[in-house]
């Protein structure tokens, strides 16, 4: 079995005439929780879109579970939750999940399971249009959990959630990794979530500033917390660029 769920080599993405990802390279070990951390607009979403195979790239390669990103064999193996909730407003939570389960070929028993995993039991019969923003985000996450995905790509899955639910979801992410061997790529612009990841890719302006564990990043920068570590890395990069 391959040791990496995702392998990215010299990935470049252009938007218009501007390059937004500048030769990005990294690997994601199987069964790990990778945090993609950085400010809004740094390229996190573009990178995730490239991993799931829906982003046109200008150069480089993206290999997912041993296949080129977006390959037909990956359809049931990769779960993707976008920043914008991907559910139909005129269907209930349960009806949405029944529809997507049929599309993915997931068993009907998955519907109750994923509703429980994301904490939507009390809202299962509600129309999606009546859900709060946080509930809609959880419904989209439930769609990504259907079936038996080997890779979950989650773009800002905890935005707008209260601290208790956010903590529960991070617990779920680690149970999926430890118990089922699922690999997770989780993006966030909130630095206090970075410490919950096994490894971090710190991004800024389409580049990777660092690729390491939270503890190693603190040690390397001499910072007491990850936000200070990130700012230290930004300052170091700007100093190098000025020379």
pLDDT, tens digit, 9 for 90 and up, residues 100-138: 999 888 999 999 999 999 999 999 999 999 998 889 988
pLDDT number for residue 48: 97
* Domain layout of the chain by residue ranges: 1-72+189-243
Residue 148 pLDDT exceeds 50 = yes
Average predicted confidence (pLDDT) for the chain: 91
Instruction: Determine the Cα–Cα distance for residues 107 and 52; give it in Å rounded to an integer.
Output: 23
Specify the fold of 1-72+189-243.
Answer: Rossmann fold (3.40.50)
Percent of the chain clearing pLDDT 70 (strictly above)? 97
| Whether residue 215 has pLDDT greater than 60 | yes
Instruction: State the pTM of this model.
Output: 0.90
Residue 99 confidence (pLDDT) above 70:
yes
CA 134 distance to own-chain centroid: 16
Tokens of residue 150, six digits: 């080997």
The predicted pLDDT at position 211 comes to: 94
The helix-helix angle for 109-117 and 133-145 (nearest 10°) equals: 130
């Amino acid at each position: 079995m391959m040791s990496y769920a995702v392998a990215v080599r010299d990935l470049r993405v252009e938007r218009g005439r501007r390059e937004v990802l500048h030769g990005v390279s990294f690997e994601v070990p199987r069964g790990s929780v990778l945090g993609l951390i950085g400010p809004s607009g740094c390229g996190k979403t573009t990178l995730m879109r490239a991993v799931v195979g829906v982003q046109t790239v200008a150069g480089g390669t993206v290999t997912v579970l041993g296949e080129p990103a977006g390959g037909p064999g990956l359809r049931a193996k990769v779960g993707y939750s976008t920043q914008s909730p991907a559910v139909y407003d005129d269907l209930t939570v349960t009806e949405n999940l029944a529809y997507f389960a049929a599309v993915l070929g997931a068993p009907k028993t998955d519907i109750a399971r994923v509703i429980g995993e994301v904490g939507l039991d009390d809202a299962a019969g509600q129309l999606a249009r009546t859900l709060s923003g946080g509930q809609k985000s959880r419904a989209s996450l439930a769609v990504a959990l259907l079936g038996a995905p080997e890779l979950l790509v989650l773009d800002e899955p905890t935005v707008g959630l209260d601290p208790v639910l956010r903590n529960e979801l991070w617990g779920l992410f680690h149970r999926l990794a430890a118990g089922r061997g699922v690999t997770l790529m989780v993006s966030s612009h909130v630095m206090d979530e970075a410490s919950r990841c096994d490894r971090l890719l710190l991004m800024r302006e389409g580049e990777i500033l660092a690729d390491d564990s939270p503890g190693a990043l603190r040690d390397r920068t001499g910072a007491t917390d990850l936000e200070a570590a990130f700012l230290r890395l930004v300052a170091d990069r700007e100093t190098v660029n000025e020379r």
